[in-house]
Structure 1
Amino acid sequence: MPSPKTEPVHLTGEERAVLKSWARGRSLEAWRARRARIILELDGGATIGRVAELVGCSRTTVGKWRARFAADRIDGLEDAPRSGRPRAVSDEQVQALVDRTLHSKPANGDRAWSTRSAAQAAGMSQSTVSRVWRAFGLKPQAIDSWKLSTDPDFVDKVRDVVGLYMNPPENALVLAVDEKTQIQALDRTAPILPVLPTSPAKASHDYVRHGTTSLFAALDVASGSVITEHHARHTAAQFIGFLATIDKAVPKNLELHLVLDNYATHKTAKVHTWLLRHPRFHLHFTPTYSSWLNLVERWFAELTCRKLHGSAHRSVTELKADIQAWINQWNTDPKPFIWTKTADAIFESLAAYCTILNHTTDQPETSDSGH
């Protein structure tokens, strides 16, 4: 049966360009591209039946979008707004829940709100409380650890270290240096069961200790490669030995700037004497309680998560060999850790913490009865 005659569709140049971009766009929704093709085919003179055949839809669909376009042009091709289910929780209730979470404690004496206690106090469901908390980034049960530095030279040291990371000196190598001490060779009392479908690897909760090692590491901030050395202890003598290893590994024409923490072995008279004989070494100390400023700690976290966590070793020799094999593999394709936060941004963050701390100290905690 032939298609009924309808008024032809006539596009302006601008409309045609928009619809062609919709029809070609791979990132747009499929429904938008189909509707654009329908109108473009109609503009080309095709009948409703022919368009349905070309696009792969029913005549009713073609007629619907032709009528919508005739009435509202391109805006008519958008989905009409849907009413949806009315909101069960008002903005005022959400605000009250957020305020209660931030400024009060449960009446039952718990340290922090749970979804159950907050839902009971607010007269909401647990799922609603959970959605509101996620929307506002609230995690009442979580606690992050932090500590303010008491170093009187905190500001100068932060500017010094961050300056090395973000604007390193020419003809020099910046190395973040530290020791990861007391790495234990632990062997499980039973073999570790492998990963299976729907089941993670399983290890016995108990283990046997077979000794420890200390890993000295110097992370090249620019390239991400590391110089490492194992020692049974981490005294000044071992630290000097590691400095000598660095001295041999790095070309003599480069100055060496080492970022270090304030561990006592880094500041002994013997270390000072060694440095006087090796003037290309320049030590830069992080402020006290500020290990987060030393980028090698980030590399230690990679070592722990990707190699040491959950591993088993029957001797210190086996542990050291396993660590060294992983380090060698890391150095074949090292990945630097890029420092992006300026010293001023760090000071602003700490000032915000101090403001919160002062406010918390001044305001006593209140308990919420839920009424």
Structure 2
Amino acid sequence: MVCVDEMGPLATIPRGGRSWGKQPARRSDRYHKSQTIQLLGAFAPHTGQGMGLPHARKTGEAVLAFLQNSVLPRYSTQGKIYLIWDNFSAHKKALSLWQPKPSNVEFAWTPTNASWLNLIEPWFLVLEKTALHNTDLKTPSEIAEHLLDGIDYLNEHPKPYRWNKGI
């Protein structure tokens, strides 16, 4: 099972966080909202491992390229792949562009307005706290670098998800 989603838009804004200082420093009000980046991400809850690809926009072509070039090569040796994702239009477009569809991939859609059921969402929260808290990054490439470093750190210290609730 692999959970797939997008994180963003992530703007080049000063981000708060915890620090040891007695007086918190004032945040700068100088930033450009147009400088944003998206992170296409995949997370395997059974291993606690994730991957991500920074991208400028959320498009069906970008999602399809991420699935074909990053997700499938990593997980195709494990037999059947179950992709969990929401009803975002870029996902539907990627699925329509994917010809021929691999026989070892099954798709599961989260219900409308329930993307919080996708287990990549809490992983994105941990990634954001790990990579972006208490930063003042100036360019989208700096954000991308911090996110990729955060993914590397989280993969070095994986926390597999264990479902402990009954239905």
Q: The residue matched to 1:250 in structure 2 has which SS? A: helix
Structure with the higher fraction of residues in strand conformation: 2
Tell me which residue corresponds to 2:86: 261
C-alpha contact (below 8 Å) 1:307/1:326 kept by paired residues: yes
Q: 2:125 aligns with which of 291, 301, 309?
A: 301
Distance across 2 between alignment mates of 1:200 and 1:306: 22
Alignment of 1:154-193 (within 5 A): 174-187=1-14
Q: The residue matched to 1:265 in structure 2 has which SS? A: helix
In the superposition, the TM-score normalised over structure 1's length comes to: 0.41
- What is the deviation of 1:183? 0.8
Distance across 2 between alignment mates of 1:275 and 1:339: 34
Q: Which moved more, 1:297-306 or 1:254-263?
A: 297-306
Tell me which residue corresponds to 2:44: 220
C-alpha contact (below 8 Å) 2:85/2:110 kept by paired residues: yes
Tell me which residue corresponds to 1:130: none
Identity rate of aligned residues, in percent?
A: 26
The AA in structure 1 aligned to 2:157 is: D
Tell me which residue corresponds to 2:155: 331
| 1:246 and 2:71 are equivalent in the alignment | yes
Q: The residue matched to 1:241 in structure 2 has which SS? A: helix
Distance across 2 between alignment mates of 1:276 and 1:331: 31
Tell me which residue corresponds to 2:106: 282
User: Number of matched residues?
Assistant: 163
Distance across 2 between alignment mates of 1:329 and 1:178: 20
Distance 1:259-1:200 versus aligned 2 partners, 3 A rule: farther
Tell me which residue corresponds to 2:27: 204
- What is the deviation of 1:251? 4.0
- Give ranges in structure 2 of 5+ residues lacking alignment: none
C-alpha contact (below 8 Å) 2:131/2:150 kept by paired residues: yes
Distance across 2 between alignment mates of 1:232 and 1:283: 25
C-alpha contact (below 8 Å) 1:275/1:281 kept by paired residues: no
Distance 1:276-1:200 versus aligned 2 partners, 3 A rule: farther
C-alpha contact (below 8 Å) 1:261/1:291 kept by paired residues: yes
In the superposition, the TM-score normalised over structure 2's length comes to: 0.86
Tell me which residue corresponds to 2:54: 230
Instruction: Let me know the Cα RMSD of the aligned residues.
Output: 2.2
Distance across 2 between alignment mates of 1:341 and 1:296: 18
Distance across 1 between alignment mates of 2:163 and 2:118: 10
- Give ranges in structure 1 of 5+ residues lacking alignment: 1-173, 344-371
Structure with the higher fraction of residues in helix conformation: 1
- Look at both structures and tell me which one has the larger radius of gyration over its CA atoms: 1
Distance 1:200-1:296 versus aligned 2 partners, 3 A rule: farther
